[in-house]
Amino acid sequence: MGESEFVPSVAVSVREFDPTKDIEKVEAVERICEVGPSGKLSLFTDLHGDPICRIAEIGQETVGMIRGCIKTVTCGKKLHRQGKNNTEPKQVPIYTKLAYILGLRVSPHHRRMGIGMKLVKKMEEWFRDNGAEYAYMATEKDNVASVKLFTDKCGYSKFRTPCILANPVFSHPARISHKVTIIELSPSDAEILYRSKFSTTEFFPRDVDSVLRNKLSLGTFLAVPKGLYRADTWPGSTRFLEGPPPCSWALVSVWNCKDVFTLEVKGASRVKKTLAKTTRVLDRAFPWLRLPSVPNFFEPFGFHFLYGLGGEGPQAQKMIRALCGFAHNLARDRGCEVVATEVSSQEPLRCAIPHWKMLSCEEDLWCIKRLGEDYSDGSLGDWTKSPPGFSIFVDPREV
């Protein structure tokens, strides 16, 4: 994403994406734009149903594109006193209208012509016209061209450095602790729990109900100690929150990216490909050994994304491990090769999330820009200057 310098040479026009005639042209640009460094996961997207998209053209040739969306999210929190004498303090979220830039692509044959910057400016115009107070984007910290475009030329500042954790889905099911019970929550139950426990988490979407009810959301799962509840005796989130809290619990939701995104490891050597294939051959020959055979990452494959990950209590990490094992088995049953998530670099539960370093990004980079005056629900000031918290809520619609 991005370009290294501005050298204008030809007239470039930017217009709205027309799904009836532009899909093939834009997908062609997607295919020739390598996303991600050599040896890492590369991403190929399905453009159908994007919230807003602009394309750049030189004559009749499509040479670039950009997508974006606007939503209301938590950007901070304030103390609210409640009760008869206003003595019971409660933290409540401060919301702001946030725009997100995603999918900026410029054809390799037309870079260093200012096309990327022109696309960003056009998208920002749409953001402002629709009341967005901030805009942000995500890129890899090693993507020098992208970072320079946004920070040096477009006025963005480095804001957060979450990590992307990806784990292979092996042919054998993961073992889950028999001391943990996993309960699938209804969307309404999940919404109650999320709003009660996570609404003050940075980037929490005000319309979390829409996320949980989206057709791509495969469910929300709660892990509690064995014997506390059974799936058939779950009292509901309201009673769960009103009653004595369990010593430990954890929560996660699963998003189906399989039909929307395709991943592929590019740039791997022939030796690495051969070694990976050898593990699969050995596993088929000796299945009782339960060898961790490496899936075929060198051709396009599907994945599941874990979001809304969190928990409380001294055994929260144990609960998260059980949920990750459950998510692994769900992905295995649905024919996916990877389970991925993105969390704050300071997330206390991060160490309990299984992942392969070679597939993961230890330091993603989010950059942010203030588009205008802040009209958030509360006295926030400038969000771009706020310190990071321990956790963030990654909206799966923007993955």
Q: Enumerate residue ranges in the chain where pLDDT < 50.
A: 1-2, 4-7, 36-50, 375-378
β-partners of residue 340 are: 166, 305
pLDDT on residue 119: 95
Instruction: Tell me the C-alpha distance between 10 and 73, whole Å.
Output: 39
pLDDT on residue 306: 98
pLDDT on residue 35: 54
- Output the CATH code of domain 165-359: 3.40.630
Domain 13-161+363-390: CATH architecture, name and number where available? 3-Layer(aba) Sandwich (3.40)
pLDDT on residue 84: 57
**Whether the Cβ atoms of residue 255 and residue 218 lie closer than 8 Å to each other:** yes
pLDDT on residue 48: 36
Question: In which residue ranges of the chain is CATH 3.40.630.30 found?
Answer: 13-161+363-390
Instruction: Tell me the C-alpha distance between 185 and 191, whole Å.
Output: 9
Instruction: Tell me the C-alpha distance between 391 and 234, whole Å.
Output: 28
